[in-house]
Amino acid sequence: MADTGAVAARRCDSCSSSSVSMETISGLTELEDLEKIYQQLCAEEKEVEAELDRLVGQEGTIHTKMLALQRMGPNLQLIGGDASQLSGMITFTCSLAENVSSKVRQLDLAKTRLYNVIQRTDDILDLKFCSDGVQTALRNEDYEQAAAHIHRYLSLDQSVIELSRQGEESSAVDASLVMLQEAEQKLKVIVAEKLDEAVAAVDLAQVERFFKIFPLLGLHQQGLARFGQYLCSQLASKAEENLLLATGGELGEKRALMIFADTLTLLLEGIARVIETHQPIVETYYGPGHLYTLITHLQQECDRQAQKIVDKFIQQRGYHNKFQIVQSSMMKSLPGERIEPRELDPVLAEVTLMNARAELYLRFLRRRMTADFEVGDAQSITQEHQQNVEKLLKHCLLSTTMQELIGYYIPMEEYYMRESVNKAVAMDSYEKGQLTSSMVDDCFYIVKKCISRALSSSSIDCLCAMINHANSVLESDFREVLYNKLRQGFPATTLQDIQRGVSSAVSLMQSSLQQGKFNTLGIESTENAKAAFLNDCCKLFSQGGGSGDQAKIESCLSDLVNTSTKFKDLLQEGLTELNTTAIKPQVKPWISSFLVISHNIEEEEFNDYEANDPWVQQVIINLEQLMAEFKMALSPVIYDHLTSRMTTLISSEMEKTVLKCSFSRLGGLQFDKELRSLVAYLTTVTTWTIRDKFARLTQMATILNLERVTEILDYWGPNSGPLTWRLTPAEVRQVLALRIDFRSEDIKRLRL
């Protein structure tokens, strides 16, 4: 129905929406317009007709749909009835279910209560059983059993017990409770007494027996304290024995030097062993996390015994006395009581060994305690636990005592190093055939030894401090020594005097040699040493040291590398000096003798030169002699540096000299030949490429060899090909002007 209404409305719509209104039509006067409008209206009419046809065609389908709908009506009514019936059913079921579940809840409640009742009766029964059991167990001296009963009683819910007392059977329960409490007190006293007895009797089996009972009575701390006390007394007697043995002195020569370190090692190893053997008992009967408490007790004894050993060590070795002597002789250079560095050797080694042992022991403790906490609960290793452990380890007397010892050790080691280096410098000797004097090797050996010893103490701070000192000794003292030697090597007045020149060259060599050694040992080896040391340190401290410690060492070592750079600079300075004082005065006249040889020559002289070389062979022979001397005495690296400097010198001197000469065509050819032999010779003696250094001279020779002035243009500018000119146009003109047969107008006219 609605459909037809909509169609009507549409029709009405299309009616009014006709594009042409009546008014417009009546307003039209022109025939043409009328015809147009008529056409338009006709078209519209056709459209409307088509639309109507379409709508009429739809009528059939609409009708069938209507019929189907009408048939559906009664079905729908049926569905409505069913649905309301279903809803009623559901409501009913729901209420039923609620009903049932409330009953179930009640049942559940009843059940839990029942359980509670059973539990409580169990507990009460237990209580009775316990109180009976304790009595018999105590009578039979079966303390384990008694303790087990007490433990059972203690683990009962206290509130349950309270409740039971309010019940009807209160008197009976009360009685057993009182009895149990009494028994508990009694047992505690007995166990404590028995343990004390066992401790006094040094009966390990009994000690362990009663030690195991304590946690059952809830007396963890007391048990650990008493057990700790027992272990301490054991340790103390053993340690005293060892110390007596140590001071008795019936030992071999070798051990005697290290006896205190050995005694300390025995003590610490003993404690470690005790911890190792008793950790399982503590863990089993006391639960994890209690090792810390036991170790706290043991550490007290350890501190006491270690202090005794260290006191004896200080007393017998005169440690403080030695330190004071060292300190006073370092403070002022006055000749007072001095101490031979060598005398310090054993005591320094002993101290580092003691510290290393202590560090090892403390690392062991840390590992054990953390592991024990972790077993308890890996997540619950709280900040507090960590802090406790750190505090115990860092501030125990053993640590502070060791820190004090190291505090004295460092200045002594520094003194040892400084004095030994000074001695090595003083005893410096130079053996023939040896490239370096003894001093360099000796000094580095000493420095290395001191650092290694500091490293062997396992104390990172100690190691860093010694690296710092080593650095200061090398950078200031030792560098000063080398510098002074270097300066003595170049007396400024010897330049003309050949005789003295030679001798100065010898002393020069000697000092540069030392630096030669530095070049290989000092510079490369500091880098190597740094890597090697760092490697060692990593290995050593990987258990205990964090990344911070490694950064510390690395920073200190990099200072050492800086020092090696300073030595490198010193070497360069030395080479410069050597070059200017020993080589330049000799080489210069050889080169300038070139001036005497005329290069303004004709065919005949050229041939004569060919037969009897006027200059270059002599120069080469001279150079060979000069360099042979150096080659023998200098290390290869230094020799290479020196020859490089020499070739630079020769090329610049040659250049200056050539510009003072004049050349004929054949003279140019002669010069070219001479230059070639010189370069060929120098190439054989150096490992550096020297072609580059002689590039300008070679180009000058090329210019002097030209046929005509304009021939230069074949090589210049766009024609230069692979050749890169090192001479400026002005210089090219200058060289061209050296040829007497080139006219200056031609040269001027050149466009370069």
Partner 1 sequence: MSMEDYDYLFKIVLIGNAGVGKTCLVRRFTQGLFPPGQGATIGVDFMIKTVEIKGEKVKLQIWDTAGQERFRSITQSYYRSANALILTYDITCEDSFRCLPEWLREIEQYANNQVVTILVGNKIDLAEKREVLRQRAEDFAEAQSMLYLETSAKESDNVEKLFLDLACELIREAKQNKLDNNDTAPMPGEGKTISYLSCCSLN
Binding residues (CB under 8 A) for partner 1: these are 390-391, 394-395, 400, 403-404, 406-411, 414, 459-462, 464-466, 468-469, 471-472, 475-477, 479-480, 483, 487, 492, 548, 551-552, 555, 558-559, 566, 573, 576, 580
Q: How far from 73 is each of 70, 79, 196, 415, CA to CA, in Å? A: 6, 10, 103, 118
Q: Which two tokens mark 423?
A: 């001695």
What's the chain's length in residues?
A: 752
Q: Between 462 and 633, whose beta carbon lies closer to partner 1?
A: 462
Concatenating the DSSP letter of every residue in 102-114 gives: HHHHHHHHHHHHH
Q: Between 247 and 452, whose beta carbon lies closer to partner 1?
A: 452
Q: Least distance (Å) from partner 1 to the CB of residue 576?
A: 6
Specify whether the CB–CB gap between 357 and 261 falls below 8 A: yes
| Cα 468 from Cα 597, distance rounded (Å) | 61
Q: Least distance (Å) from partner 1 to the CB of residue 362?
A: 12
Specify whether the CB–CB gap between 381 and 403 falls below 8 A: no
Q: Least distance (Å) from partner 1 to the CB of residue 591?
A: 17
Buried b (16+ CB within 10 A) or exposed e, 461-482: ebbbbbbebbbbbbbeebbebb
Q: Between 546 and 717, whose beta carbon lies closer to partner 1?
A: 546
Q: Which two tokens mark 560?
A: 């050492």
Q: Between 3 and 573, whose beta carbon lies closer to partner 1?
A: 573
Q: Where are the alpha helices (DSSP H) in 598-750?
A: 603-611, 616-633, 636-658, 665-685, 695-704, 729-736, 744-749
Q: Least distance (Å) from partner 1 to the CB of residue 469?
A: 5
Q: Least distance (Å) from partner 1 to the CB of residue 432?
A: 29
Q: Least distance (Å) from partner 1 to the CB of residue 538?
A: 16
Q: Which two tokens mark 101?
A: 């579940």
Q: Between 211 and 541, whose beta carbon lies closer to partner 1?
A: 541
Q: Least distance (Å) from partner 1 to the CB of residue 410?
A: 4
Residue 9 one-letter amino acid: A
Q: Between 291 and 417, whose beta carbon lies closer to partner 1?
A: 417
Q: Nearest 5°: phi and psi at 466? A: -70, -35
Q: Least distance (Å) from partner 1 to the CB of residue 728?
A: 23
Q: Nearest 5°: phi and psi at 141? A: 55, 30
Q: Between 102 and 400, whose beta carbon lies closer to partner 1?
A: 400
Q: Least distance (Å) from partner 1 to the CB of residue 553?
A: 10
| Residue whose tokens read 């009807």 | 168
Q: Between 367 and 391, whose beta carbon lies closer to partner 1?
A: 391
| Cα 588 from Cα 595, distance rounded (Å) | 12
Q: How far from 216 is each of 152, 229, 376, 562, 564, CA to CA, in Å? A: 9, 20, 18, 65, 67
Count the neighbouring beta carbons within 10 Å of the beta carbon of residue 290. Answer: 20
Q: Between 58 and 476, whose beta carbon lies closer to partner 1?
A: 476
